[in-house]
Amino acid sequence: MERLFTNFKEIETDRLLIRELRDIDYIDLYEIFSNEDVVRFQQIPPMPSKEVAKQAVSNFIKGYQQKQKIRRSIIYKDKMIGIVSIHSFNYDEKSVELGFMLNKDNWGLGIMTEAASSVIDYILKETDANIIIAKPRPENIGSIKVCEKIGLKRIGHQEKAIFNFVTEEYDDQLIYQLERNN
């Protein structure tokens, strides 16, 4: 799994390029994360400014260099329209967690199904990871549908598992999982 931090190649699909996150992506990142519908199930408020987006990109790039977490940019028609994240590396269990965010202008076109499944294929082919996990909120129908379409199965429902910085309450989350060879 460590290879993802040293040798993560670009992925090309029919419509998309999935590449490393670059400093310049902060403008498109701001467009994505400043939309309240996009962050509705993220336990955070919409991003307030491009300056904050710039800082976020810089932190993401640092997190990659420090081998903690990965953010890859989804490019569609020469524009950065989304992010696939790979985080919560567990080297004993050989598991990683997947997250995804898409610019609202591009919802409903099958883009995240295409992007996330290509990333899963890449992880299974290029690394020894055995388990891929996603944790959508129970109300996040779009995310749940993407998880199911890319082959993850629901294995749990954790009550009051994650702190919501907007409501200041704890939210439930579902556990979806894909196991190699299952």
Q: Shortest gap between Cβ of 24 and ligand COA (angstroms)?
A: 21
Residues in Cβ contact with 57 at an 8 Å cutoff, skipping those fewer than 6 apart: 21, 22, 23, 25, 26, 29
Q: Which of 24, 44, 109, 155 binds ligand COA (CB under 6 A)?
A: 109
18 binds ligand COA (CB under 6 A): no
Q: Which among 22-30, 68-76, 98-106, 119-127 is the span making contact with ligand COA, rule CB under 6 A?
A: 98-106
| Alpha helical stretches, state H, the chain | 3-6, 26-33, 50-65, 111-126, 141-149
Phi, psi torsion values for 175, nearest 5 degrees: -110, 120
Q: What share of the chain is helix, strand, coil (3-state, %, to 5)?
A: 30, 35, 35
156 binds ligand COA (CB under 6 A): no
Q: Which among 66-74, 104-112, 119-127, 174-182 is the span making contact with ligand COA, rule CB under 6 A?
A: 104-112
Choose among 148, 149, 19: nearest CA to 74.
19
x/- map, 36-55, ligand COA, by CB under 6 A: --x--x--------------
Q: Which of 111, 119, 129, 133 binds ligand COA (CB under 6 A)?
A: 111
Under DSSP, is residue 178 helix (H, G, I), strand (E, B) or coil?
strand
Q: Shortest gap between Cβ of 6 and ligand COA (angstroms)?
A: 27
149 binds ligand COA (CB under 6 A): yes
Q: What secondary structure does DSSP assign to 58-83, as a single string? A: HHHHHHHHTTS-EEEEEEETTEEEEE
136 binds ligand COA (CB under 6 A): yes
Give the length of the chain: 182
Q: Which residues bind ligand COA (CB under 6 A)?
A: 38, 41, 99-102, 107-113, 136, 140-143, 145-146, 149
